[in-house]
């Protein structure tokens, strides 16, 4: 495994197997940095917005694979090859997350976003989730040392109260797969993150997978 960074709270690598240890031994954020293949980059660039799935789907990994196949057959023929490449990649990420969680059921979300979903810094509920942004700006996150956790759930606080130093805000790169622990899993309340700004979210496409807890 080629480790880029490992301070336990944050682990980064260009090796997929890092996903298998996400959330263990004090880890809150795991990022698998992927060098996307040319075919995938082209597919994401060329496919029409309407051909990309926009769905919340709950069920097994195998069931989701079948759903992706069904979606593939429902889109215009001209975009089918591109969607097949993207669907294969999504399924690959899903398999890695399943190798970590080994759950009987998940919630799979494919988002075509045209507005900011969660502009306020927050932690997610539940143990952990996997994110990958294929198109548009990625999820923004903040190291735990740069967060005032006491203000996270307080009423009336602004993002600049929760994260006083904006230079500490990081962005998960496109195609990287990030596993973020939520507030139930990590002692300090999980990874603080937010969706990117509205003007930067236009034409965004992201995949997210969580345990169905
Ligand atoms: Fe979130």
Angstrom distance (rounded) from CA 75 to CA 28:
38
Under a CB-based contact definition with an 8 Å cutoff, are residues 134 and 46 in contact? no
Q: Is 196 or 89 the better-scoring residue by pLDDT?
A: 89
Residue 194 Cα to ligand 1 middle (Å) = 6
Residue 6 Cα to ligand 1 middle (Å) = 23
Is 193's pLDDT higher than 50?
Answer: yes
pLDDT at 183: 82
Give the CA distances from residue 71 to residues 51, 58, 118, 207, 211, in Å, rounded to whole numbers and listed in that order: 9, 15, 27, 15, 22
pLDDT tens figures, 42-83: 999 999 988 999 999 999 999 999 999 999 999 999 999 999
Helix axes 80-101, 61-74, angle to 10 degrees: 170
Residue 76 Cα to ligand 1 middle (Å) = 32
Q: Is 116 or 148 the better-scoring residue by pLDDT?
A: 148
Residue 181 Cα to ligand 1 middle (Å) = 10
Nearest alpha-carbon partner for 146 in 188, 200, 185, 174: 188
pLDDT at 26: 86
Residue 73 Cα to ligand 1 middle (Å) = 31
Residue 184 Cα to ligand 1 middle (Å) = 13
Q: pLDDT averaged over the chain? A: 89
Tell me the torsion sign for CA atoms 64, 67, 68, 69: positive
Give the CA distances from residue 166 to residues 48, 159, 162, in Å, rounded to whole numbers and listed in that order: 34, 9, 10
Domains of the chain plus CATH, in order, are 3-211 (2.60.120)
Residue 195 Cα to ligand 1 middle (Å) = 7
Residue 79 Cα to ligand 1 middle (Å) = 30
Q: Among all chains, which residue has been given the structure tokens 């004090």?
A: 26
Q: How many CB atoms lie within 10 A of CB 14?
A: 15
Q: How many CB atoms lie within 10 A of CB 49?
A: 13
Helices (H) and strands (E) in the chain, counts: 5, 11
Under a CB-based contact definition with an 8 Å cutoff, are residues 70 and 182 in contact? no
């Amino acid at each position: 495994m080629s480790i880029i960074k490992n301070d336990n709270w944050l682990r980064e690598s260009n090796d997929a197997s890092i996903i298998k240890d996400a959330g263990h031994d004090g880890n809150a954020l795991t990022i698998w940095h992927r060098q996307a293949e040319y075919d995938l980059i082209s597919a994401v660039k060329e496919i029409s917005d309407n051909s990309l799935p926009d769905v919340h789907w709950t069920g097994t990994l195998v069931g989701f694979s079948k759903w992706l196949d069904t979606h593939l057959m429902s889109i215009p023929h001209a975009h089918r090859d591109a969607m097949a490449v993207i669907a294969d990649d999504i399924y690959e990420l899903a398999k890695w997350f399943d190798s970590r969680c080994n759950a009987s059921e998940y919630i799979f979300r494919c988002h075509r976003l045209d507005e900011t979903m969660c502009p306020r810094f927050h932690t997610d509920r539940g143990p952990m989730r996997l994110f990958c942004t294929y198109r548009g700006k990625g999820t923004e996150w903040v190291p735990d040392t740069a967060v005032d956790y006491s203000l996270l759930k307080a009423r009336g606080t602004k993002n600049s109260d929760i994260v006083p130093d904006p230079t500490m805000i990081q962005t998960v790169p496109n195609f990287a797969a990030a596993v973020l622990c939520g507030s139930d899993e990590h002692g300090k309340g999980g990874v603080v993150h937010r969706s990117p700004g509205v003007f930067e979210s236009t034409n965004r496409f992201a995949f997210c997978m969580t345990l169905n807890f």
